[in-house]
Chain A
Amino acid sequence: MKFDFFNLKFILGGLLLGLVLFLAIFGPILTPHTANHQSLMDSLVPPLSEGHILGTDHLGRDILARMISGARVSLAIAGSVVLISGVVGVLIGALSGYLRGTWDLVTQKIVESFWAFPPILLAIAILAFFGQSLTNVILALTIQRWIPYSRMARAQAMVLRSRAYVEASSVMGGGLAWILRRHILPNLMASAIIVGTFSMATAILAEASLSFLGLGVPPQIATWGGMLAEGRSYITRAWWLAVMPGVGIFITVLSLNLLGDWLRDQYDPKKNLNLV
């Protein structure tokens, strides 16, 4: 497998995501302010002002500090969601594709019934029921997000199970766990990573939507969605309140989509089609 790193999608996506990651990790060093420190004297300071590069909001809180907090929340939530749903989805899907039969029938029915709910509605219902907290947001977003993984894993496992090397393995005594671990899962990884990258982008959007609706993480934690919701009422007077978190979401989602696209191209069998 040769990756083509000299590629616009990779370079641009990598730079943008790198920027967001840098902010999230080293952000606190860049600004003396904290996300929730209010200073009504300094409210609605425009960007590029002394001490507040990105300006302040209506309560005088530093936007850069809040952006950094938002980036941390977004990435942490989206990351956990992708990781948990990926592991769960791939395992369930690989099992149903490999085992077929009853297990497959049951999981397929579950998949279909989960699929029947509008995603955001299901998330809202869960948060309304269990209450607002970081873990509950992760739960609410994970509950549907494992499905694309399981579909992908199921389809591929169904093909892989009839591959001669899988059959050879079972003639040599390979049991279910062995075959899954040595043959099915390694061959699913590439696709799972691609699904994961795109899924991360939608998870960030979903988290922002929940926060925007006031249903995300508790309000005392600054998030991009929450900032967007607060900034909405000041959009005519102080555009930066809404635009800054919007840009944050945009850049992160764009970078993930670019990287996902690039990864998909890399694994596309047609990429190496040159007849020799």
Chain B
Amino acid sequence: MTGTTPNDTLVATDIRKTFRRSNGLFSPASETRALKGVSFEVTPGEIFGIVGESGCGKSTLARILVGLEEADGGSLALGARTLFGPGAPTVSAVNRGIQMVFQDPYASLNPRMCVGDAVAEGLAIANVPRAEREERVAETLSLVGLTPQDARKYPFQFSGGQRQRICIARALVMEPAFLLADEAVSALDVSVQMQILNMLLDLRDRIGVSIIFITHDISVVDYLCDRVMVVYDGEVVEFGEKTAVLDHPQNAYTQRLIQSVPRL
């Protein structure tokens, strides 16, 4: 597989998003400020953790980064290239070089599509010739610990952990510079979770892909990430090296969050 090593830093600046919900004709629309100006950067080859509890805006942020949702304000740039932002044309999702892995391995794969087709989907959309597609699918499946023979099987023949591997393969086949995993191990059994975490570490070491790992689980961040950003109520409350943030949290919320985690 050709390297996916990113050379550029991903810089997000002041990303804002407000959801409006109309409450009918006679009452004013209600507003939820999901993101109140979030800025951060992810450097090439690092594993960057975004931690927060439900409703803090971390999933909205993920959707904005990959282009499933549009930000109301702020900008995103990969090196010198602006992905979206004021005065610049918005780069389409597929051209951003950020691919996503979702939380629920059971909803992430079309039950009527065989694994090979699922993994090759992005290539098929881009009209890559069939022979090349098959070759790259086989390579990528071995990269995530599956066999090229698995390409002919259907999702129901796989366990949750294997499905998550398939989803990671589907993302990697696009050769993204950044892999964005939104709670990608939360639905898995602990024994399988550790396999996937180790695989992500290996992938980073072997092909140099940067990983943005979104989670609510501090212990996973502690295992996996290099740097971490804590999000609370749409704002970044703490940001920095993992060891610094987790061992010496400065913010009151971060302190409470870390204290709440049961430890072995």
Q: Which residues of A contact B (CB under 8 A)?
A: 163-165, 167-175, 178, 182-183, 186-187
User: In the complex, what distance in Å separates the CA atom of A75 from the CA atom of B110?
Assistant: 35
B112 close to chain A: CB less than 8 A = yes
User: In the complex, what distance in Å separates the CA atom of A172 from the CA atom of B122?
Assistant: 5
Partner of A173, one of B103, B110, B112, B122: B122
Prevailing SS type, chain A contact patch: helix
Chain A contacts for B99, CB-based, 8 A: 171-172
Chain A contacts for B126, CB-based, 8 A: 173
Is B109's CB under 8 angstroms from A165's CB?
A: yes
For residue A80, give the distance in angstroms from its CB to the closest CB of chain B: 27
Partner of A167, one of B95, B102, B109: B102
Is A187's CB under 8 angstroms from B68's CB?
A: no
User: In the complex, what distance in Å separates the CA atom of A155 from the CA atom of B83?
Assistant: 34
- Can you pick out 24 interface pairs between chain A and chain B where the beta carbons lie within 8 Å of each other? A164-B102, A165-B107, A165-B109, A165-B113, A168-B100, A168-B102, A168-B170, A169-B125, A171-B66, A172-B94, A172-B99, A172-B121, A172-B125, A172-B174, A173-B94, A173-B122, A173-B125, A174-B121, A182-B110, A182-B113, A182-B121, A183-B110, A183-B113, A187-B112
Q: A163-B107, A182-B113 are in contact. Are A170 and B93 (CB under 8 A)?
A: yes
Among residues of A, the one whose C-beta sits closest to the C-beta of B125 is A173
User: In the complex, what distance in Å separates the CA atom of A170 from the CA atom of B102?
Assistant: 13
Among residues of A, the one whose C-beta sits closest to the C-beta of B109 is A165
Chain B contacts for A187, CB-based, 8 A: 110-112
For residue B13, give the distance in angstroms from its CB to the closest CB of chain A: 22
**Candidate in A172, A178, A182 with the most chain B CB atoms within 10 angstroms:** A172
| B112-128 interface (Cβ within 8 A of A) | 112-113, 118, 121-122, 125-126
Chain B contacts for A169, CB-based, 8 A: 121, 125
* Binary A-proximity of B79-106 (CB < 8 A = 1, otherwise 0): 0000000000000111100011011100
B61 close to chain A: CB less than 8 A = no
The 3 A-B pairs of least Cβ separation, nearest first, read A173-B94, A172-B122, A164-B102
Is B110's CB under 8 angstroms from A167's CB?
A: no
Chain A contacts for B174, CB-based, 8 A: 172
B6 close to chain A: CB less than 8 A = no
Is B121's CB under 8 angstroms from A170's CB?
A: no
Q: How many residues of chain B have a CB within 8 Å of chain A?
A: 28
B234 close to chain A: CB less than 8 A = no
Partner of A170, one of B68, B104, B109: B68
Given contacts A164-B108, A165-B118, 6 further A-B contacts (CB under 8 A): A165-B109, A170-B68, A171-B66, A172-B170, A186-B110, A187-B111
Is A171's CB under 8 angstroms from B67's CB?
A: yes
For residue B244, give the distance in angstroms from its CB to the closest CB of chain A: 32
Is A165's CB under 8 angstroms from B122's CB?
A: no
B42 close to chain A: CB less than 8 A = no
B167 close to chain A: CB less than 8 A = yes
User: In the complex, what distance in Å separates the CA atom of A164 from the CA atom of B126?
Assistant: 20
User: In the complex, what distance in Å separates the CA atom of A178 from the CA atom of B127?
Assistant: 12
Is A168's CB under 8 angstroms from B92's CB?
A: no
Partner of A168, one of B95, B111, B112, B167: B167
User: In the complex, what distance in Å separates the CA atom of A170 from the CA atom of B174?
Assistant: 13
Is B167's CB under 8 angstroms from A173's CB?
A: no
Chain A contacts for B167, CB-based, 8 A: 168
User: In the complex, what distance in Å separates the CA atom of A163 from the CA atom of B155?
Assistant: 15
User: In the complex, what distance in Å separates the CA atom of A182 from the CA atom of B67?
Assistant: 21
Chain A contacts for B110, CB-based, 8 A: 163, 165, 182-183, 186-187
User: In the complex, what distance in Å separates the CA atom of A169 from the CA atom of B126?
Assistant: 12
For residue A51, give the distance in angstroms from its CB to the closest CB of chain B: 54
User: In the complex, what distance in Å separates the CA atom of A187 from the CA atom of B110?
Assistant: 8
For residue A141, give the distance in angstroms from its CB to the closest CB of chain B: 31
**Candidate in A169, A171, A174, A186 with the most chain B CB atoms within 10 angstroms:** A171
Partner of B68, one of A171, A173, A178, A186: A171
User: In the complex, what distance in Å separates the CA atom of A163 from the CA atom of B122?
Assistant: 17
Chain B contacts for A173, CB-based, 8 A: 92-95, 122, 125-126
Is B113's CB under 8 angstroms from A171's CB?
A: no
Among residues of A, the one whose C-beta sits closest to the C-beta of B101 is A168
Among residues of B, the one whose C-beta sits closest to the C-beta of A186 is B112
Is A168's CB under 8 angstroms from B94's CB?
A: no
Partner of B94, one of A164, A165, A167, A171: A171
**Candidate in A164, A170, A186 with the most chain B CB atoms within 10 angstroms:** A164
